[in-house]
Amino acid sequence: MLVNRRMAEISEIMCGKVLMTYDEFSGMLERRSGWLEAKNIYRLPDGSAFRYAGEELVTVDGECFRAAYFYDVTELVRRKKEPETQNEELRRMSVQITAADIAVQLLRTASAGLVLMDIAVKNNVV
């Protein structure tokens, strides 16, 4: 049984209804494999990310229950991806800088050649 409002909302988002049993919930997770972003991390359509954890609980009387938990990890996932995005941007900038350096070297070489030709023309060497 879902025990808080957010779990009920997640259930409704993921399968269109509030699930009441662990088996229903587990089955829904298996059918939503496209939402699986990493091991036990699900990306919901609203952009939020949740880590799923399940466990078996045993009471003092020996009665067994299965529990499912969803932890909001949206901010952690964003922070993990941030350096990856920054690294990609730095790689692009590095390629642009390298291309600009090559262009500057070519211009210097061409410019030096023009200066030499100008000097030769002025000195009537050519």
* Contact of 28 with 12, CB cutoff 8 Å: no
Number of alpha helices (DSSP H) and beta strands (DSSP E) in the chain: 3, 4
Give per-residue pLDDT as tens, 27-70. Answer: 877 888 788 888 889 888 888 999 988 888 888 888 888 777 88
User: What is the model's pTM?
Assistant: 0.51
Separation between Cα atoms, residue 20 and residue 7, nearest integer Å: 11
Separation between Cα atoms, residue 102 and residue 113, nearest integer Å: 17
Give per-residue pLDDT as tens, 58-71. Answer: 888 888 887 778 88
Of the pLDDT bands very low, low, confident and very high (cuts 50, 70, 90), residue 1 is very low
Q: Assess whether pLDDT exceeds 70 at residue 100.
A: yes
Q: Assess whether pLDDT exceeds 50 at residue 83.
A: yes
- Backbone CA torsion sign across 83, 86, 88, 94: negative
Boundaries of every domain in the chain = 5-72, 80-126
Give the phi and the psi of residue 13 in degrees, each rounded to 5: -65, -45
Q: What is the average per-residue pLDDT within 7-12?
A: 77
Q: Assess whether pLDDT exceeds 70 at residue 4.
A: no
What pLDDT is stored for residue 49 in this prediction? 92
